[in-house]
Amino acid sequence: MKESKLYSDKSLFRTGQLLNLNPELYTIWNFRRDILTNFKFKQIPDTDPLKKTAALHKLIISELQFVQAKLSQYPKCYWIWDHRRWCLLNDSQSDWKHELDLISMFFQADSRNFHAWQYRRFIIQCYKDSLSSEDARIQVDWDEFKFTTKMINKDISNYSAWHNRSKLIEKLFIGSSVLKDDNDVYLQVFNAKDKLKFLRKELDLIKTAFYTDPDDSSVWIYLKWLFGDYYIKDLPKNESRKLLEDTIKDIDELNELETEDNGFDNQWCLKSDLFLLKSLLKLLPKDDSSESWKERVDTICDKLIQLDPMRKNKYREHKLQIATES
């Protein structure tokens, strides 16, 4: 049917049968879209634009119901989510708030479903595009930022929530001044464009998170992002240095506790220390007594070679790099 381009109710029904058996058949999803575009959509009379829009909306709603039934069974199937996006983009009357309610239902089952998070970003962008006011669009970003805080407090291992947070922060630093809430510290920071105060506030959240679960990779990856160029390049060197040294101290204290409990160093603590130490050494002047910091890099690399031998060449490269730059 596909090869012969047989677009009919029968072929549409057949795609439904196959997708009920196996929704991973992405070729069938593609064929189903061809049938809808070249057959079902064209069956709608175009004499009255309003009636045509309403009829198309009714057809898409029926398709969305089919898709939702599949998602309930297979919430991590790429092709089902893709097909739902396609449906919404072909309907001028798409209900974005209804889609957000649907996502909330999926989060109740699995708050870390990255498919649902990716879909949420898509829906939020579509919703923002439908708004005529820039102030209203910024409000949506702010509400999403608060949502990530809620989800992180619920489960610090929610990598998608941390990732979403990182994408929203830059937007809020640019446009949040239109929002007012004297009682919210984060909003005050965004409005003041104060990256230093933001980092201090965010590092408090990070510290709570890595003490809660020192082996959770999402927290450490977010910490590494926080100390990227977006923040550090705009801070005075003395403030950057203090932040780095204070964070290294906090991680060292955590690693001491982990060593006492488990009898060996925590790899994530050591890897994060290594990253922060390398950043710190770039800030130190040549005449600074930085030898102790360089020795610490060597010590950490030696420990990581023992704990993580599969990446021993990587740690040896770090040692060589520090020695060469010295």
Tens digits of residue pLDDT in 38-63: 999 999 998 999 999 999 999 999 99
Instruction: Give a yes or no: residue 189 inside a domain.
Output: no
Instruction: Give a yes or no: residue 217 inside a domain.
Output: yes
Domain boundary among 94, 121, 142: 94
Which phi and psi (to 5°) does residue 235 adopt? -100, 150
Instruction: Identify the CATH number of the domain in which residue 275 sits.
Output: 1.25.40.120
Q: What is the pLDDT of residues 216-250, one digit of tens each?
A: 999 999 999 999 888 888 899 899 999 999 999 99
Mean pLDDT of the chain: 92
Instruction: Give a yes or no: residue 72 inside a domain.
Output: yes
The type of residue at 42 is K
Q: What is the pLDDT of residues 74-107, one digit of tens each?
A: 999 999 999 999 999 999 999 999 999 999 999 9
Instruction: Give a yes or no: residue 89 inside a domain.
Output: yes
For residues 167 and 145, give the distance between their C-alpha atoms in angstroms, rounded to a whole number. Answer: 9
Which phi and psi (to 5°) does residue 139 adopt? -60, -40
Structure token pair of residue 297: 């890099």
What's the pTM value of the predicted model, to 2 decimals?
Answer: 0.89
Instruction: Give a yes or no: residue 99 inside a domain.
Output: no
Domain boundary among 94, 111, 145: 94
- Distances in Å between the Cα of 77 and the Cα atoms of 13, 24, 88, 89, 96 are 21, 7, 18, 19, 21
The type of residue at 195 is K
| Domain interval for residue 262 | 195-326
DSSP state for residue 130 in the 8-state scheme = T
Instruction: Give a yes or no: residue 311 inside a domain.
Output: yes
Are the beta carbons of 218 and 157 closer than 8 angstroms?
yes
Are the beta carbons of 75 and 113 closer than 8 angstroms?
yes
Structure token pair of residue 174: 């640019």
Residue 268's pLDDT band, with cuts at 50, 70 and 90, is very high
State residue 175's pLDDT score: 80
Domain boundary among 60, 94, 128: 94
The answer for residues whose C-beta is within 8 angstroms of residue 282's C-beta and 6 or more apart is: none
State residue 226's pLDDT score: 93
Instruction: Give a yes or no: residue 313 inside a domain.
Output: yes
Domains held by the chain: number: 2
Higher pLDDT, 37 or 231: 37
